[in-house]
A and B are shown apart, each in its own frame.
Chain A
């Protein structure tokens, strides 16, 4: 029966909707939190953001020193 069905659905909705809305809002704000955490994470990789010249160039210099000038 349609009307009793809707009444039951309405009751169920009233019970689960706050939880569903909370879950959805968590999912949304979770994405912002993830982006913010990634943005604020200190970068520990040294050469990638210009923090140093790296090891490869030092090896290159050693090799070039071994070549005939």
Chain B
């Protein structure tokens, strides 16, 4: 019996040590696809959470600081003007939503996190698709010392990094403001893990 056990153990070691006998590179790619999908899922839920937060804040601030007719005319039918207190109340939500959407007063700012993550996700998916095709064409053979293969397998991380790190920052800000609370979701946890691995520490 012992020779059989030894043989099986050595065979298992050989497979693990093979570092690319079909299984391991595809597993890495599968993890890549899952992570990008989770990032997309988190993006979607953050957008909805921020929209709900903005609506709730607008309702709260309007109730707390009702607008008044323009003092100069004294005309009760004139369009009410938002009070400075209302503006101060709603500004944190406005800043968060502007940072997220990349729009201010109807114009793109060029600095939105949502456009950045959209672009990063598209690029990461293209990288993953290309890596899958590459690996598939080589019958799954991708040894650890093969630099071209490693580069293909890792390219998606470089593609998604800018968007993912920006997403993580605003999710963090959203959590602090109470705008985002789904911190136990798989998407949140996966992105948190990826951000820890890929993004510079603050």
Contacts and interface: CB of A to CB of B under 8 A. Distances in A.
Interface of A: 5-6, 8-9, 12-13, 16, 20, 24, 27-32, 34-36, 38-39, 41, 43, 45-50, 53-64, 66-68
Given A39-B33, A43-B40, A55-B48, A9 B4 contact: yes
A61 B7 CA distance: 68
A50 B30 CA distance: 22
B140 A32 contact: yes
B165 interface: no
B54 interface: yes
Contacts of A54: 47, 51, 101, 114
B94 interface: yes
B56 to A, nearest CB: 10
Contacts, number: 148
Chain A interface main SS type: helix
A48 B39 contact: yes
Interface in B87-138: 87, 90, 93-94, 97-98, 100-101, 103-106, 114, 117-119, 121-122, 125, 128-129, 132, 136
Contacts of B152: none
* Interface pairs A-B: 9 shortest CB-CB: A48-B40, A38-B33, A55-B51, A59-B54, A60-B97, A31-B26, A57-B101, A28-B23, A54-B47
A6 B44 CA distance: 61
Contacts of A41: 37
Contact of B58 (A13, A34, A57, A62): A62
A25 B90 CA distance: 59
B4 A45 contact: no
A46 B44 CA distance: 8
B166 interface: no
Contacts of B26: 31-32, 34-35
Contacts of B104: 64
B118 A48 contact: yes
B135 to A, nearest CB: 8
